[in-house]
Structure 1
């Protein structure tokens, strides 16, 4: 499901390019090579704040690095390595092959080449992971020397992605409806999660997120009603995921709602609020904090736009806790 890319920053050019556009974000509105194009419009939906971090790959001899880059998709993880240490990671959000954009970002090297196979990333994080640890988890020799750019597929990537908790909660690989239906039928709610089970859940979450937001830049939280960039929202199961039947999961148009990470996801998951007859209701959960009480009072009675079609799932959430 999620792949990992090894990106070496050992040589001078790659190190300088990483400094220019990844350690330091670029302003999308200032990029003249894509201004007024579909690329700029698509990036604006991903980066509403106008600032993005960018990496690039040269074609390579006989196009071998381009072939590796073409394996990437949204949600994959890029690991940046220098001095035998992974010092940075990022999540792929967007891919485009564009020599003009590459020249604007990085110029050309002494041979007139530029990293025209471009990937945009988000959720860039500092890391401190020894190269030999990554190699070992990927089933490679501990002393394996990373090339300039190399992609490892899901089977090899999973121990690294899950072991170091590198997966994104926002960016998921694209999943078709047919693939989603197959995944849902294969999920075993009675078994503890193994790697294969976690991969299936990521496919489920990714599909639900795409269906819920459909490329929107901004969406409304179902509980508080505040409008946030979709990166601040999750596709939350209205009925607890592990109590959902296969039939419930297949009802993907009604089983999920957007909840903000700024509080409402926790309030709903921890059963401080529920939704009854289209309106947010405070439960009888014990509240010892006056600040939390004031937040809950403001939510009381708000209309939940996601109630229609999802009543039975909200009713389940209310009945389970015997809140009233």
Structure 2
């Protein structure tokens, strides 16, 4: 978790210079090590990438945190009581010279020399109170410095915000480590669903699909029930018990021909009133963009209703893929 309050003048300028406006490799090639430059070009064929950095800190307090970070990790930016940006660390390197050129030095004479490039970024607008509650933090806890979360908190946050994997350099781990971990793993290989949950899912689909066929809420096609699922509008794991029992409103039918996955991963959402919205990030993936334009663009979702609106609103806020804030 990267603290970066854009209400602070310095942070705002850094954000505008290297996140809102990605850094050109060609312009700064003379300050990039050849191997770093090569990796950046492979990861970002466009020749530019969003970049951020971390200062060593007094007595190098941040260095221990930096050592726990690696390419492929999720990163979330927080500030002004909000979580507002998420993405993947695509590459990490150290360059005092480039950092000083991009961001100068702070009042302590340090620069943000532990640098990383970001891929797959998207914008959020989530109150930190909500994040604290999700992770079981004290109400007074704030992200004051670079914070590396444990595996459980990381998985919880990534699932909550539906951050998808993005291009990243290979990890510098032992290549046999993953194979050894699988061989040595003696825990459960499958997560067992409880009977209650299975019963709930069956009841949900029966409620939404009383006959042999039904209509996909998103594309509107009438399809055999085999190809429709009861898709939660708000993530089931984040629903209260009362919301889980609200079978008439908490879910909708979505087809397995792409609509369920597009909604689940935030490439489409439903606006208040029922207009289907398309994520501006969908255009970057031609196959997804083509499917949306052919099947979904311009549709009005008849499944929308005032009672379902709170669930659609949650999806728009937490799952729908917005552009990073300008």
User: The TM-score by the shorter chain falls in which range?
Assistant: 0.5 to 0.7
Report what 2:62 is aligned to.
65
| CA pair 173-161 structure 1, distance change in 2 beyond 3 A | farther
Deviation at 1:119?
Answer: 1.1
**Structure 1 residue ranges without an equivalent (≥5):** 195-260, 268-288, 290-324
Residues of 1 paired with 2:160 and 2:135: CA distance? Answer: 11
| CA pair 190-94 structure 1, distance change in 2 beyond 3 A | closer
Deviation at 1:94?
Answer: 0.6
After TM superposition, the structure 1 stretch with the greater mean CA deviation from structure 2, 164-173 or 64-73, is: 164-173
Deviation at 1:68?
Answer: 1.4
| CA pair 8-162 structure 1, distance change in 2 beyond 3 A | same
After TM superposition, the structure 1 stretch with the greater mean CA deviation from structure 2, 135-144 or 79-88, is: 135-144
Is 1:105 matched up with 2:102? yes
Q: Quick check: 1:58–1:114 contact (8 Å CA) kept in 2? A: yes
Report what 2:122 is aligned to.
125
Choose the corresponding residue for 1:28, options 11, 15, 25: 25
TM-score, normalising length: structure 1: 0.54
Deviation at 1:165?
Answer: 1.2
| CA pair 35-116 structure 1, distance change in 2 beyond 3 A | closer
Residues of 1 paired with 2:152 and 2:88: CA distance? Answer: 18
Secondary structure (helix, strand or coil) at the match of 2:12 reads helix
Deviation at 1:32?
Answer: 4.0
For each residue in 1:81-119, what CA deviation from the matched residue of structure 2 results, as whole angstroms up to 9, or x when unmatched? 222011111210111111001011111234432111111
| CA pair 193-99 structure 1, distance change in 2 beyond 3 A | farther
Structural mapping, 1:1-324, within 5 Å = 5-9=1-5, 11-35=8-32, 37-171=34-168, 174=171, 176-180=175-179, 182-183=181-182, 186=185, 191-192=191-192, 262-263=286-287
Residues of 2 paired with 1:262 and 1:168: CA distance? Answer: 17
| CA pair 85-100 structure 1, distance change in 2 beyond 3 A | same
TM-score, normalising length: structure 2: 0.53
Report what 1:272 is aligned to.
none
Q: Quick check: 1:73–1:173 contact (8 Å CA) kept in 2? A: no
Report what 1:236 is aligned to.
none
Secondary structure (helix, strand or coil) at the match of 1:74 reads coil
Secondary structure (helix, strand or coil) at the match of 1:150 reads coil
Aligned length: 199
Q: Quick check: 1:98–1:116 contact (8 Å CA) kept in 2? A: yes
Residues of 1 paired with 2:32 and 2:178: CA distance? Answer: 36
After TM superposition, the structure 1 stretch with the greater mean CA deviation from structure 2, 123-132 or 110-119, is: 110-119
Residues of 1 paired with 2:193 and 2:87: CA distance? Answer: 25
